[in-house]
Amino acid sequence: MITDTTDTTDTTDSSVTFINVFEIAADELDAFVEKWEQRARLMRDKPGFIDSRMHRARSSDSRFQLVNVSHWESQEAWEAATADPDFASRTRAAREETKQPVTPNPAVYDVVVELTAP
């Protein structure tokens, strides 16, 4: 089943998907994931949080070694949660604690096509 969810109406009250793909050295992954989980626990208790998953590439040759996908009840809930000063300082520290630069690529997305098994 394919559902085209393209909609030009105002989406301020609809759920959103936050995706952040990380460029990070393979030898930094385990330590980064451990710290990420601590930061994610802060988000879990925020109003509007639905779920979050961190995905790890199976190949060390992959450009993006980590991909975080989180769902929020609304854009506003996500913005309020990420504005938390404790979360912001921990996020900055996580990027600065690695030997090699970590490059996050965050953005909020809306679903435009959804596929489900028949």
- Residue 30, H or E segment: helix 29-44
User: For position 96, what pLDDT does the model report?
Assistant: 72
pLDDT, the chain, mean: 85
Q: What is the DSSP string of 75-99?
A: HHHHHHHHT-HHHHHHHHHHHHSSS
Average pLDDT of span 51-69 = 95
CA angle 101, 23, 41 (to 5 degrees): 90
User: How do the domains of the chain map onto residue ranges?
Assistant: 34-109
Q: Who's near 35: CB < 8 A, 6+ residues apart?
A: 90, 94, 97
Give the CA angle between residues 47, 49, 51 to the nearest 5°. 160
Q: What is the dihedral of CA 38, 40, 45, 49, to 10 degrees?
A: -170
Average pLDDT over residues 89-113: 83
- In this prediction, residue 90 carries a pLDDT of 78
Class of domain 34-109: alpha beta
